[in-house]
Structure 1
Amino acid sequence: MRRVQDSNGDRMLVEKTFDTGEALLNYAEGPTSGTPLVCLHGLTDRWQYFLPILPNLAMRWHTYALDFRGHGGSSRTPPYRYADHVSDTIAFLEGVVKKRAVIFGSSMGGMISLIVAGRRPDLVKAVIFGDASIKVEHVR
């Protein structure tokens, strides 16, 4: 566990790891204020992509920002298929968040968020996504 200052240098995030049984996922967690909001980054990013907006989000939400496997501080555990990112995200929601969450996904994270919501609506309260390339074969 490592404490990380947000981009304003004041509110603290705690960087942690979660073992899915197949991969170690690195993530940051903000103050526990409100509904869980899980941030999922794009293909070439890591959880720090969300640092500029996490302070404002943390005022209302219990924020989590996850590194997908093979990204940031998460383990380099192939394969890196969408199906693996979906399974990892579901395991994270079940094992760490433990409540219905809003998922905020950017690019690849947006596609993963939609697939997770479709497969496990019991874990997802809502989805916010942007710049997601949605293909039917990925959703099935």
Structure 2
Amino acid sequence: MPEAKINGIQLYYEEYGSGHPFILLHGLGGDHQMFGHEIEQLKAHYRVIALDSRGHGKSEKVPQYTMEDHIQDVIGLMDHLLIKKTNILGASMGSYVAQGVAIAVPERVEKLILVVAKAFGKTSSTARLLAEHADEVKGLTQEEQMYALSKYIFHDLQAVGEWSQKLAVNVPVLTFEQQEAANRALENFDFRPELHKITANTLLISGKYDGLNPPKDGKEVASLIQKSCFEEFEKSGHAPSVEEPKRYTEVINNFLRS
């Protein structure tokens, strides 16, 4: 199995294709399988490495960890795989980690794609949204809570629902304790003072109806990175790759060719 011991824990990843490296970093509570669409598009031209972040997927579950741990895990994996320079695509939580990597080792990141991103947070976006709608989700299970809040997160609920059902077959569900640890790792980070250090050509993608990381958050990130561009998807929420897959592919391909 494609595993590596990085920073003292076992990390799981999968590789596809060959060529220039391209690392994919998933969102909170997910794993590398969230990137089925991206992997199919990118593997024809790149060496795609899709990582299960610590505490997620098939990677080791540890009781506590931090954003900095996530960042150093990616850098450690790059060292393990002898990757000197890479492209990175991060979605939601993965976009935070990607920012941290591009700040820490700017010379090692060539192109950076940040999907539904933000640059800072006192809590995870999910924890914030749950707190804002606490009365609405009171007494519901974790799964029921996220279903109830989906109308605030996504625009094309049918497309996202079908995608989620397919993922649910294979993506391991985190226990309550594991989900809490994952949420705590996203508390109190703020990359804004250091985003100027990023030298990679950067693409920001946000969804107009995203209640977790709305477009204003993506625009703020873009405004603080020198070589950046911003795209707002008019028919998407927090999952542009699922809600507007054709435009998503076109925008990313155009950016990679530029």
Is it true that 1:117 corresponds to 2:169 in the alignment? no
Q: Which runs of 5+ in 1 are unaligned?
A: 2-15
Paired residues of 1:19 and 1:25 also in contact (CA < 8 A): yes
Structure 1 residue runs of 4+, over 6 Å off?
none
**Does residue 59 of the first structure (1) align with residue 111 of the second (2)?**
no
Q: Secondary structure at the match of 1:94?
A: helix
- The equivalent residue for 2:190 is 138
Cα offsets for 1:29-48 (capped at 9, x unmatched): 0022x211000001111001
TM-score by length of 2: 0.46
Q: How far does residue 132 in structure 1 lie from its aligned partner after superposition?
A: 1.4
| Aligned residue among 11, 15, 19 for 1:29 | 15
Report how many aligned residue pairs link the two structures: 125
TM-score normalised over the length of structure 1: 0.82
C-alpha change, 1:43 and 1:97, in structure 2 (3 Å) is farther
Larger Rg: 2
Give 5+ residue unaligned stretches, structure 2: 122-188, 195-258
Q: For 1:61 and 1:97, how far apart are their aligned partners in 2?
A: 15
The SS at the match of 1:122 is: helix
CA distance, structure 2, for counterparts of residue 21 and residue 41 of structure 1:
19
Corresponding position of 2:53: 68
Mean CA deviation greater in 71-80 or 111-120? 71-80
Structure richer in strand, relative to its length:
1
**Cross-structure match for 1:88:** 73
Corresponding residue number in structure 1 for 2:179: none
Asked if the contact 2:54/2:62 (under 8 Å) is kept, the reply is yes
More helix by proportion, 1 or 2?
2
